[in-house]
Amino acid sequence: QFLYIYSNVLPKIGTFIISLTINRLQQTHFLNKFSLHMNKIFPNLQKLALDDWKNEELFSFIGNHLNQLQYLRTIIIRGLRQVNHTNLITHSSEDQKHLLEITHKNTQIECIYFEPDCYSMKLSINQNNLITHSNLIEMSISLSTSNDLISLAIIIPNIRRLHVVIEELLPINKDIIPFQCLTHFSLDAIDFYSTLDNISSILRLTPTIQQLSLTLTTRDERLIYGQHLFTLLSSQLFNNDNLIESLKYATYFSTSVDYHFDPKNILQSWNPISIAYTINKDEKKSYILIHTLPYPSILLNLHSILPNKFGINLGDQVYNNIQYLCICHAKTLLETFTIIQHCRKIQDLNI
């Protein structure tokens, strides 16, 4: 069926196609048929989605076959798989080389989105003779550590909107070159316990932001009180007339079972921003999920006991944008339904 479509259908309608998705099952046939003639068969293509490719095949295709598509502005990459590397230095070098190639060779592209189900990249940048990419306006990407974000600021210094998932936040002790034009910054760090100092280090890279979104997991109680976070925000964010629109925030805080939560002080610390929170305990720990409204990220990791007391009405649509949901230590499927029913766009559910 694919062969028939590629041989008889796509060549006839290619000039009318402005958006195209190529998944792993179609990859071989598509590359054999069209990779060398993309600009002739799809001259008006504006958006390209690539699903479940291996990294070397994907980067080779983007780097070598798309630069003649003059109207192509957006690339969406889902489920990018990494070719096994036993050498971490080689892995890091390959990631940064591939990223440089696809941005440098395709200067017409304005937006590149690596969806959260792509592997986390490692970037090791040598600033000597480095060619940066100045046309990219928006990117989403998963990175291994916060040091890779430093490298990204060197590769794409003029990016305007950046959405990053980082596996591990490390102290930033070296000199940095911050993003020069970044106005919208979104950080998801839900697989690592963040601290206020980690966030302070990250914000050194983003002095020009006007809109900030943070989604964190933490054991640092300072991150559940708004006034501590406000002290770190750039002057641009404070000067914005609408602080409520400028800051989006969520954190999942775990602590000792005898920790006393003071909801009144927590709410007051976030004034004038409205927040929602859910507090719960088990025999070992206390937990709080606290966030601005609506929930700011497409990612949500929860301890299984939290959904049992989720105090959000279905009509509130607070969690409508969640696409990737992880519920840890669930004992029964039934106890997950309380939160799942709020998440109407789930693509990936991990229990």
Domain ranges of the chain: 2-272
Amino acid 13: pLDDT: 93
Whether the predicted model's global pTM rises above the 0.75 cut: yes
Measured CA distances, 166 to 163, 190, 211, 273, 332 (Å)? 10, 8, 19, 26, 30
Amino acid 134: pLDDT: 65
What are 233-238's contacts with CB under 8 Å, separation 24+? 233/203, 234/203, 234/206, 234/207, 234/208, 234/209, 236/207, 236/208, 236/209, 236/210, 237/209, 237/210, 237/211, 237/212
Amino acid 282: pLDDT: 75
Amino acid 278: pLDDT: 84
268 with 225: CB under 8 angstroms?
no
Q: How many residues comprise the chain?
A: 351
Q: Which two tokens stand for residue 139?
A: 């990117």
Low pLDDT (below 70) residues in the chain = 1-2, 84-93, 125-134, 173-174, 234-245, 304-315
Amino acid 51: pLDDT: 93
The domain defined by 2-272 folds into 3.80.10
Q: Which residues make Cβ contacts (< 8 Å) with residue 331, sequence separation at least 6?
A: 304
